[in-house]
Structure 1
Amino acid sequence: CSSDLVAHRDGVAREAVARSREAGNAMAVLDRAGLQIGEVAKLISEIASQTNLLALNATIEAARAGEAGKGFAVVAGEVKNLAAQTARATDEISGNITAIQAATKEAVAAIGEIDTTIGQLDESSTAIAAAVEQQTAATGEIARNIDAGSRGTAEVTQNVEDVARQISDAGAICTQLDHTFGAMADEIAALGRNVDGLLRELRAG
């Protein structure tokens, strides 16, 4: 029935709210992890910069040492190149982390909007469920009133039929009385005629 459908939709909405919040929490964790990785990348970049500076100083000192410092100069050059590669890689990592953080923030914002929308849907579903319950109760009350009205109509119909029968019975009684009164009138008239005849005979005698 409609109330079951509303209850099902209400349950689905609540489940969606829960899942959306879980996703939002996961995105928040990812955002914090990105910040931590960014701090680590920044530290690596600083170390690479210091290493590059030390390699530069070592190269200068090797040049001052002349022939004896050539081997050390080669090592210093390799260290300098490694520091430069590390710096470039760190810059790329930082760029990627920045992009990930931006995307994560957008995802968190979108999930927040979805969570709000689903929350509104949950409230609407609750309101609809309450309205359906009220409508069901009102429908039941209307049905009970109609049933009571039907019983009242049946009682009125029965009363009308009883009155009709009583009127019919009264009509039959009136007809019977009319016949009885007619017969009595005839008998009284005959009696009157007999009395008149008797009086005439008495006067004649």
Structure 2
Amino acid sequence: RPQHPPIVGAAAAEEAATNVRSVAPATEEMASSVDEISRQVQESSTIASAAVDQARKTNDRVGELARAAARIGDVVELINTIAGQTNLLALNATIEAARAGDAGRGFAVVASEVKALAEQTAKDTGDISQHIHGIQAATRESVGAIKEIGDTIGRMSEIASTIASAVEEQGAATREISRNVQQASSGTTQVSSNIVDVQRGAGETGSASSQVLSAAQSLSGESLRLKTEVGRFLDSVRAA
């Protein structure tokens, strides 16, 4: 019976060691998963940063397009102004040719052609101006949209960086847990081994105690027998 507690203790320690050993691979796998998540988050952050840079460059290009459209608009406006002045001059020339009578008839034809050309030019420049205004409006909308996209990606990049930091901290904690579990596994294994040694020593001690008890009992029997023999001897001496 004195040996039962060590047996129970050894079994409990072995069970604890087994449980800890079964947890150790899970913590290692969790640490590996955290590292993989950290890598993916870092990669996402890098991609987001690259996207922000690309959006900024695209915004700059669209801005250049807007400025080019504005310059074209200025040129079109100048052409339209010149066409208007030409039309006015052609009208005046037509009036003067009419006053000149037959002598100004040929000049009147030329003035009429110039007037028609000026009117057509004004019409064409008006169409071009409308297209330019449309391009400028679309460009402004594109600039705004790209800016919003860049801001959104920037916020995503910040969030990804925050997540990466949190995951890195979690990874460090997980690795620490894994180390502690490994140490606990080693400790419980050592405890189990020590309990087995104690059990073995207790068994040996119990065996030795049994031998001593047996010897003591035998010695006690011999002492009792010797006492009886001595008593008989003394009785026989007295009788003589």
TM superposition score category, shorter chain reference: over 0.9
Distance 2:223 2:43 in 1: 93
State the structure with bigger RCO (CA 8 A, min sep 6), 1 or 2: 2
1:59 matched to which residue of 2? 94
Question: Which amino acid counterpart does residue 181 of structure 2 have in structure 1?
Answer: I
2:137 matched to which residue of 1? 102
2:70 matched to which residue of 1? 35
- How far residue 6 of structure 1 moved from its aligned partner, in angstroms, is 2.7
Question: Which amino acid counterpart does residue 203 of structure 1 have in structure 2?
Answer: R
2:8 matched to which residue of 1? none
Question: Which amino acid counterpart does residue 130 of structure 1 have in structure 2?
Answer: S
- How far residue 10 of structure 1 moved from its aligned partner, in angstroms, is 2.5
2:116 matched to which residue of 1? 81
Distance 2:226 2:40 in 1: 93
Question: Which amino acid counterpart does residue 57 of structure 2 have in structure 1?
Answer: E
- How far residue 83 of structure 1 moved from its aligned partner, in angstroms, is 0.9
- Trace 1:168-183 onto structure 2 (pairs within 5 A): 168-183=203-218
2:231 pairs with one of 166, 171, 196: 196
Larger radius of gyration: 1
Distance 1:25 1:19 in 2: 10
1:158 pairs with one of 193, 203, 206: 193
Does 1:149 find its partner at 2:184?
A: yes
1:71 matched to which residue of 2? 106
Identity in percent = 47
- How far residue 157 of structure 1 moved from its aligned partner, in angstroms, is 0.9
Distance 1:143 1:113 in 2: 44
- Where structure 1 has 5 or more consecutive residues not aligned to the other structure, the ranges are none
Distance 1:107 1:13 in 2: 20
Secondary structure at the aligned position of 1:53 is classed as helix
* TM-score (norm. length: structure 1): 0.93
RMSD: 1.5
- How far residue 181 of structure 1 moved from its aligned partner, in angstroms, is 0.6
* TM-score (norm. length: structure 2): 0.80
After the TM superposition, which segments of 4 or more aligned residues of structure 1 sit over 6 Å from their partners? Answer: none
Does 1:11 find its partner at 2:43?
A: no
- Where structure 2 has 5 or more consecutive residues not aligned to the other structure, the ranges are 1-35
Distance 2:43 2:225 in 1: 96
Distance 1:134 1:114 in 2: 30
Question: Which amino acid counterpart does residue 92 of structure 2 have in structure 1?
Answer: N
Greater Cα shift, 19-28 or 127-136: 127-136
Question: Which amino acid counterpart does residue 42 of structure 2 have in structure 1?
Answer: A
- How far residue 114 of structure 1 moved from its aligned partner, in angstroms, is 1.3
Question: Which amino acid counterpart does residue 188 of structure 1 have in structure 2?
Answer: S
1:115 pairs with one of 150, 160, 185: 150
